[in-house]
Structure 1
Amino acid sequence: MYFYGVEGKVKKLLSKAKSYIEKGNLDKGIALYEKAVEISRGSSYYSYCLFLLACAMHDEGDIERAKPLFEELIELNCDERILSLEKLNSIYKKSNDISNRIAILEELSTAQELKHTDIQCAKTILELSKIYLELKRYENAERTCLEALEKIEGVQGKKNDDYIKCMQKLVEIHRESGSGEKEIESLEELQEIYALNERYDSCYKTLCELQRKYGEDTEKYEITLAKRAIIAIRLEKYPEAIQECREFYKENEKMFEELTKKRSESLYETLVKICLILGNVCYEKANNIEAEIFFLYAINDIKIRLEEDHLYVATILNSLAAVYRSTGKYAKAIERLEEALRIQRAKLGKDSMDVATTLHNLGLAYIQTGDYKKAIERLEESLRIRRTKLGENHPDFATTLKIIGLLYNDEGEYEKAIEDYSKALEIERSSSREYDSDSFDTLWELGKLYRSEGDYEKAIGCFQ
């Protein structure tokens, strides 16, 4: 009955105290909290009442009276211990009591670790690291910062703002300590973290800072230049990306072959990727001269690093052929596509989908030269492979069939043209609405073919 009576009295006092404090009457509120502390002494409510009293005094600005109460709470090892440590830390921070603050933060991080609140613990340790840095105790600053990084990574991984802030602090520690080698290492990791978190602008700036620290004749300088181009692409800064990629090749033009032999796998892969992306960007922007340069760079890198007939070469040759076709260099386009076809057939066999794509591109190139016979051969061979791999009624077939049909029409072979257009119409109707725009266009062209052959009845049926 005693404890039941204590509980009732304490709750009543706390409720009244809270009401007074909310109304701005701190003195009466504190007096009631003090009474609750006295009544609850020896009971399970004591630490809670003491904590409320300490907080009220702290909020009123009576730090000297609040501080010993928080210290008592810490000694009691109660549920309010972590909150009391946090309050004491804020008190010592305001009074600039560094030594006591360090002791409190260390005790707080231990308490948080025992409670398995790892993120809060990491933030506390990082705060401790900042103090050590201010005191120029660099070893302690680095140790605590690394501990914070480990805890954050264990819970959240590296893809989060907390990890970024911690890495930024580690860079600052290494920079201020004068440890150039460690600063470069932490900057390299920070750049990777920025990229992982898609902070490309910060990543680009960090790469620029790293490049200033590397010697110009080192491989790391070259890799960083290449990475800058990749990030510039991410930021859609295409002029900067092009300039940086061209700068790489320009700087190494005289000893290019020697450098490419020594180049690391990571640099090789990065450069090929850059050249392909920039080549496609330039092609899409109708900058065919630059596109050709980048595609040739990519092919050169692959041939030196891997082999003459690597499959990647065939892929780039197709892109290069598109550039030549758009600039009217049809003979060059056909030469590149035939080379790509030879590589793909040797590596993948005669009936692969990559072979079918290259055959299709070859057919289009031969059309542009006016060699319809070879164009039909290549397009029909492409169609045969696709039919085997994708089935009879794939939507892509209709487009290719109509191209072949037009070629037969130009050659005066109307029956074959009508056959291909009829098949195309059947595919279009089976894969979409019966009277969509594609079907109407195909019917119209089919009607014209019937008219050319003299079958006016069927022509009228199509036109209707």
Structure 2
Amino acid sequence: MGLSTHPEQLQNKSSKQRRRPMKMDTASNPTNKRRLIPHLFRPFHKSSSTEKIVAKIMELNNKAVTLYCEGDFSTASSLFQEAASLRQESDPWPVIELERNEPPPSSYIYQRMDFDEGMVLYPDTEAVESGDHPKSVQAKILFNAGQARRKLEDLCGASGYYERALRTFLLADLNERTPIAMITVHKVIIPILHNIGQVYYRKGNLKQAIVAYKIALQHCKSLLGEEDFSVGITLNCLGVLYYHVSVEQSQDAIQCFMKAVKIQQRVLGKNSKEEATTLNNLGRVHVQREEFDKALNFYEQALEIRRECLGKDSIDYAATAFNAGQSLHQKGDCDRAIELYQEFLRVALVKFSKNHRDVAVVLSGIAQIHQERKEYDKALKLYEESLEVGRGALGEYHSEVAMLLNRIGNFHFERENFDQALIVYKQGLKIEKRVLEKTHPNIIVTLSNIGEIYRQRGDFDLAIKLYSHALSLQRKRFGEGSAEVANTLNVIGLIYDQKGDSNMASKKLQGALLLRRSILGDDHLDVSATLTHLGTIFYRKNMISTAMQLFDESLRIRRAKLGDDHRDVSFTLYNLGLCHQLQGSYKEAISCYSETLRVEKLVLGANHRDVSMTMYKLGEAYKADGNMEQALIHFKNALAIERSTIGREDPATVARTLNEIGNIYLARGDVVPMMESFNEAARIFQEAGLSAQSVTVSGQLYAFGISVPAAAPAA
């Protein structure tokens, strides 16, 4: 496609055709030695016949320019093409047929023209003047023809004309490393390169767009100076492209935008509409980086400027209001977020119509807030309205309609309405498979969502099938050694564990662990999570030493990353306590449980269900270690919490703890409280539908294995 990271070979030209650029005499301009002079053509002598053709060309061009300004782009395009043909006849230059190597389908979705990103700097045509060199005339007419084709949304036709215009000045194959000296310098090159980049951008070929804008930036600086307005706008365009390429290039985007703002302020003064556009773009980058405070700061500046420069009925003002609303939503300021979402709708419903894609997106955003507030009826109504609007604007088969369906599926999933969620997810998947590339991330996410529903319903074979399909797509898209592959392997391992296939679970989790270590290093929290999952499997296999090694490493990572007072740290300590208790190391178990208890009380409060579980395990450990006094204290504390939190829904647990208290009184010879505890335990067991003989007077716990499963490590 003309510009390429693997440039095409130009056809051989005669030495006359491949003119060398003139060398600049820096001595005559000592204060600006790095500037290139703008006019590097040799003198041109016209014959009388050539003059007639040139006059005809100018007449056609001027007529086409008038029609272009009036909006008749189709007729203008025809006249520009006719003028270009005459120019070719008057002084033929080899026409270079550019190879059309279109990039593969991209997941990139073009930012619509409705909103200003500052990417369109040169929307007009170029005037052809009587003194222009034939090559300049050639380039301008070709450029103008491209402008008309772009207005007609013929991006391929526009791109072809722009590239032919650029080839007029090109002395070598063009790529990102082409020296500026190998391009004949002329001011028309800047709009040509800008519009080449803009077309590539709209077609989703972002890498080629970056090449064009980078070379345009060189020419802007060389022809017009480092602080020229065009330099600032070109930097803004590059920033937009870096933003769209990936989050990894977000810092490059920020640097471009910040430089652009400084130039815009210096040239135009503060608070120009151009500055507001760049500030809005800065906000988007910080959202991409999940830096919502910084994003909101830039959005608020842009919002104020756009309010003053454009008015509150401007669609660009409304777009920034929506952007700011999204950041406020992320920060939890939902009331203000809804206000700004409504401000967008106020403008959009006038500027567009109800059936507009962005109206659908905003309605969906408001629905999400109502969902978070547990206002489910309001949320569902707005989700359904957003889907109706999206379908009206885009039709049934569109990626954004699939996105709206996915949000509705998430809504039903959160409410554990798995049947309805499954229906909606499958509708979205059908659309995605039709309109997106086979390995698109959205398809992978939807497959995983469907797999998770099957997992939640206990359909483990179907869950593994769906997740395995997602895994195969991730391997194709991201590579075998990617974080995405590691994450899905980890989930598949957990499903095998739920299914009861500990061998396959261990195999998948070990594969995930190896990948996570290689990608993330040995000290990442995801590595810690997989270590913990593996530890629980080995614990259940009674491979206690191996389990302890895994839990120890997990604890080291979590303490280093999260500190001593984090819930996940307490989970791992609890698991280690179980291992020590099983090995008969009761003092070590007591130490782990005690620290677990401290963190849980700090994080969850003194009366949480998990606190009672840890107190019970402490009672067991103290009892086994012979410290009946401490055992009784902890069993009684556990009982008090159990009575207030789970007494009715899980009475067998209360009875179990009463039974333990009875055994402690028995060991101490306290007959009356012993009998009271045993009798109440027997009564509760009977009320729960269990035999009163479940009460065990031996003091051992194993009789309760049926009603209360053995404690297992926590994830």
- What TM-score do the two structures reach when normalised by structure 2? 0.35
Q: 2:43 maps to what in 1?
A: none
Matching of residue 201 in structure 1 with residue 419 in structure 2: no
Question: Contact (CA 8 Å) 2:570, 2:596: kept in 1 or not?
Answer: yes
Return the match for 2:552 from 293, 313, 338.
Answer: 338
- 2: CA distance between counterparts of 1:228 and 1:304? 27
Decide whether the 8 Å contact of 1:164 with 1:193 is kept in 2.
no
Secondary structure of 1:379's counterpart equals: helix
Give the 5 Å matches for 1:260-409.
Answer: 260=482, 268=483, 270-409=484-623
Contact kept, 8 Å, 1:229 with 1:241, in 2: the verdict is yes
Alignment of structure 1 residues 18-417 onto 2, 5 Å? 151-157=355-361, 159-164=386-391, 167-168=394-395, 189=400, 191-198=402-409, 199-209=424-434, 221=439, 223=441, 226-227=444-445, 229-234=447-452, 236=454, 237-245=462-470, 247=472, 256-257=480-481, 260=482, 268=483, 270-417=484-631
Report the Cα offset of residue 359 of structure 1.
Answer: 0.6
* Cα pair 2:471 2:488 within 8 Å, conserved: no
Instruction: Tell me whether 1:459 sits opposite 2:671 in the alignment.
Output: no
Describe the superposition over 1:76-102 as per-residue Cα deviations: whole angstroms up to 9, x where unpaired. xxxxxxxxxxxxxxxxxxxxxxxxxxx
Change (3 A) 1:242 1:149: farther
Deviations 1:241-281 (A, max 9, x none): 2432554588799x845xx3xxxxxxx4x545534443332
TM-score by length of 1: 0.51
SS at match of 2:509: helix
Q: What is aligned with 1:418?
A: 632
Change (3 A) 1:376 1:328: same
CA contact (8 A) 1:200 1:235 kept: no
Identity of aligned residues (%): 23
Partner of 2:356, secondary structure, is: helix
Compute the displacement of 1:342 (Å): 0.3
Is the CA contact 2:596–2:614 (under 8 Å) kept in the aligned structure 1?
A: no
Given residue 589 of structure 2, which amino acid in structure 1 is its aligned partner? A
Distance 1:341 1:249 in 2: 30
SS of the aligned residue for 2:523 comes to coil
Asked whether the 8 Å contact 1:149–1:163 carries over to 2, the reply is no
SS at match of 1:160: helix
Cα distance, 1:327 vs structure 2 = 3.1
In 2, the alpha carbon distance for the partners of 1:197 and 1:148 equals 25
Per-residue deviation, 1:379: 1.2
Q: Which amino acid counterpart does residue 620 of structure 2 have in structure 1?
A: L
Q: Which residue of 2 aligns with 1:447?
A: 662
Between 1:401-410 and 1:428-437, the stretch displaced more is: 428-437
Segments of structure 2 that go 5 or more residues without pairing to the other structure are 1-151, 155-350, 365-385, 410-423, 455-461, 680-715
Equivalent-residue separation in structure 2 for 1:369 and 1:205 (angstroms): 53
CA shift at 1:395, angstroms? 3.7
Q: Which amino acid aligns with 2:406?
A: A
Residue 382 of structure 1, CA deviation: 0.8
Distance of aligned partners of 1:148 and 1:368 in 2 relative to their CA distance in 1, 3 Å threshold: farther
Change (3 A) 1:205 1:430: closer
Flag the 1:307–1:235 CA change in 2: closer, same or farther, 3 A.
same
- The structural deviation recorded for 1:160 is 0.6
Deviation at 1:225?
7.2
Q: Match of 1:416, as an amino acid?
A: Q
Q: Rg: which structure is higher?
A: 1
**Counterparts of 2:646 and 2:501, CA distance in 1:** 37
| Alpha-carbon shift at residue 315 of structure 1 (Å) | 2.5
SS in 2 for 1:351: coil
Structure 1 SS opposite 2:565: coil
Contact 2:532 2:551 in 1 (8 A): yes
- Aligned CA RMSD, in angstroms, stands at 3.9
Q: Which amino acid aligns with 1:152?
A: H
Pair 1:303–1:241, CA change in 2 (3 A): same
Q: Distance in 1 between matches of 2:607 and 2:468?
A: 47
| Alpha-carbon distance in structure 2 between the residues aligned to 1:278 and 1:148 | 46
- Tell me which protein shows more helix as a share of its residues: 1
CA contact (8 A) 1:149 1:166 kept: no
Alpha-carbon distance change, 235 to 425 in structure 1, aligned in 2, over 3 angstroms = closer
Measure how far apart 1:150 and its partner are. 8.5
Number of paired residues?
Answer: 287
Q: Match for residue 118 of structure 1?
A: none
Q: Would you say the 8 A contact 1:363–1:374 is kept in 2?
A: yes
Alpha-carbon separation, structure 2, partners of 1:194 and 1:390:
36
User: In structure 2, how many angstroms separate the alpha carbons of the residues matched to 1:461 and 1:272?
Assistant: 54
Q: In the aligned structure 2, how far is the partner of 1:458 from the partner of 1:197? A: 56
The letter for the 2-side match of 1:449 is: I
Q: Quick one: structure 1 residues 354 and 243, their matched pair in 2 at CA, closer, same or farther if it must change by over 3 Å?
A: closer
Mapped to 1, the partners of 2:559 and 2:572 lie a distance apart of: 10
Change (3 A) 1:191 1:458: closer
Shift of the 150–348 alpha-carbon distance from structure 1 to 2, 3 Å rule, reads same
| Partner Cα separation in structure 2 for residue 164 and residue 228 of structure 1 | 19
Amino acid at match of 1:337: F
| Whole-angstrom CA distance in 1 between matches of 2:665 and 2:677 | 9
Q: Distance in 2 between matches of 1:441 and 1:420?
A: 14
Which secondary structure state, in structure 1, belongs to the residue aligned with residue 589 of structure 2?
A: helix
Gaps of 5+ in 1: 1-136, 140-146, 172-185, 215-220, 261-267
Distance in 2 (CA, whole Å) between partners of 1:246 and 1:325 is 28
Shift of 1:386: 2.2
| Contact 1:191–1:206 (Cα < 8 Å) also in 2 | yes
What code does the residue aligned with 1:285 have? Answer: K
